[in-house]
Amino acid sequence: MEENKDPQINIELDQEIAEGTYSNLAIINHSVSEFIVDFINIMPGVPKAKVKSRIILTPQHAKRLTKALLDNVRKFEQAHGEIKDYEQPPIPMNFGGTTGEA
């Protein structure tokens, strides 16, 4: 009997997660054992924004994610042209409390 060298993982994606969450700002922090990525949606003219999603990664997984993102950006730019990186003014951040409330 031949052993399967590429075991498959069944991944379930429920409807709510499949719809996604829009983010136009990510804030990344790290400790010795983890990377924390907060995804935020900032609306023009609105003085308060909430963290919409927080992802916590091991350092190894953060590095693999970085490589995967770089590879996908490279493929996107090959197909669609260079992604322009427009300078934006710095956004003053004020994280209040543990839930982001002041």
> Does residue 74 or residue 88 have the better pLDDT?
74
Confidence of residue 69 (pLDDT cuts 50, 70, 90): very high
Alpha-carbon distances of 57 from 51, 69, 101, rounded to whole Å: 17, 15, 24
In the β-sheet with 25-30, what is the strand arrangement from edge to edge? 25-30, 35-40, 51-57
Give the pLDDT confidence score for residue 3 in this predicted structure: 64
Report the mean per-residue pLDDT for the chain: 87
Average pLDDT over residues 41-68: 94
CB atoms closer than 10 angstroms to residue 35: 19
| Contact (CB, 8 A) for 24 and 46 | no
pTM of the model: 0.73
Nearest to 88 by CA among 44, 29, 22, 28: 44
**In residues, how long is the chain?**
102
